[in-house]
């Protein structure tokens, strides 16, 4: 994990699968990405809000590592930052290997705490057929491995943009791996 940086930032005021890239995004503590459809103190994911709209929003920010996009593109897909619905595309940090509660200090001020793995749904295949299978795997014990990014909450707001540096603060041990939670 050398010199982790932000490659792209993206947001959409609508519940669209892909999010357009922006020159910068503003993170708001306890809310998420300013102007993004998933911002809010309570869950905004359409399916999950339909189940229980009173749950806290643990999905304020979605991050994907650019290395996943590289892997998908090498596998014959054509995927650019923001197209899988992420707000922040990173490079140089293995997001999936970080434990729950990891804090990402991004740019001059912003701090995001990682809460969960993203669980990709069928919409990812509507984007490009076969991508769902490419971002889901099984480990040697038959457990599902989700590679479609991580979710987090905003602890400290601030503006971030491409090339913003990322510093990582691990939580106290024992570390708990990121898992899918809703």
Residue 30 has pLDDT above 80, yes or no: yes
pLDDT band at 182 (very low <50, low <70, confident <90, very high): low
| 180 falls within a domain | no
Q: What is the pLDDT of residue 138?
A: 87
| 179 falls within a domain | no
Rounded Cα distance, 63 and 85, in Å? 9
| 152 falls within a domain | yes
Rounded Cα distance, 1 and 138, in Å? 24
| 134 falls within a domain | yes
Q: What is this structure's pTM?
A: 0.94
How many domains does the chain divide into?
1
| 174 falls within a domain | no
| 102 falls within a domain | yes
Name the strand (E) or helix (H) holding 112. strand 110-117
Rounded Cα distance, 176 and 172, in Å? 10
Residue 78 belongs to domain spanning:
5-169
| 97 falls within a domain | yes
What CATH number is attached to the domain comprising 32?
2.40.33.20
pLDDT band at 48 (very low <50, low <70, confident <90, very high): confident
Counting Cα atoms < 13 Å in the Cβ hemisphere of 161 gives: 4
Distances (CA, A) of 102 to 9, 43, 137, 165, 169: 20, 21, 23, 16, 6
């Amino acid at each position: 994990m050398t010199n982790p940086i932000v490659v792209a930032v993206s947001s959409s005021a609508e519940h669209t699968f892909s999010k357009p890239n922006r020159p910068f995004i503003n993170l708001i503590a306890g809310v998420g990405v300013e102007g993004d459809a998933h911002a809010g103190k309570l869950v905004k994911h359409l399916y999950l809000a339909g189940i229980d709209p009173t749950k806290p929003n643990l999905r304020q920010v979605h991050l994907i590592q650019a290395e996943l996009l590289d892997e998908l593109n090498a596998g014959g897909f054509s995927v650019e930052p923001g197209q899988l619905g992420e707000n922040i595309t990173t490079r140089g940090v293995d997001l999936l290997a970080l434990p729950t509660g990891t804090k990402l200090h991004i740019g001059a001020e912003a701090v995001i705490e990682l809460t969960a793995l993203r669980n990709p749904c069928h919409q990812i295949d509507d984007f490009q057929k076969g991508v769902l299978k490419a971002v889901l795997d099984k480990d040697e014990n038959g457990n599902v491995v989700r590679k479609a990014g991580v979710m987090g909450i905003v602890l400290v707001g601030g503006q971030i943009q491409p090339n913003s540096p990322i510093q990582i603060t691990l939580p106290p041990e024992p570390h708990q791996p990121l898992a899918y939670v809703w």
